[in-house]
Amino acid sequence: MAANQSKNSMGITVNVKGTGHKNFDGSNRRHIIRRYVRENILVTLRRDTYNSNTVAIYVLAPRVFGLLGSTLKQIGYIDEASSKRIAKIMNTGGSLTGRVGCLYAPPEKKDPIVRLELWI
């Protein structure tokens, strides 16, 4: 059991969608995933600013080798069915913890596969 997981928490597994797309700032999610995402790293979940039922997934990435701190980079979003359920939890002030459970991102793969484990 993870350190931040209680006996009463509920765990769900979700796939990250949109991993082959570009972010609004022009950064490539595929490159972000290959460079910064590893199994067991923590992820940040945020409501999408354009669609309140969409939950975007971010990872922490160092800026200038960590000399200028870190920034959050989007790697994708959670599928619509799971997002609605998670958005309801976020609306009620519920706490979510997520980590990368599985990663498959070889160079020849256009859309890397990232699976998250979330605890509610």
> Could you tell me if residue 2 is inside a domain?
no
> Could you tell me if residue 4 is inside a domain?
no
Distance CA 53, CA 82 (A): 9
Which amino acid is located at 119 in the chain? W
> Could you tell me if residue 80 is inside a domain?
yes
Digits of tens for pLDDT over the chain (120 positions)?
444 444 456 788 999 999 999 999 999 999 999 999 999 999 999 887 777 778 899 999 998 877 888 999 999 999 888 888 888 888 787 667 799 999 999 988 899 999 999 987
pTM confidence score:
0.83
> Could you tell me if residue 15 is inside a domain?
yes
Find the domain containing 106 and state its range. Answer: 11-119
Nearest-5° angle of CA 4, CA 2, CA 114? 105
- 72: domain CATH number is 3.30.70.2330
List the beta bridge partners of residue 113.
104
Q: How many domains does the chain have?
A: 1
Q: What is the pLDDT of residue 2?
A: 45
Burial annotation 30-50 (CB, 10 A radius, 16+ → b, else e): bebbeeebeeeeebebebeee
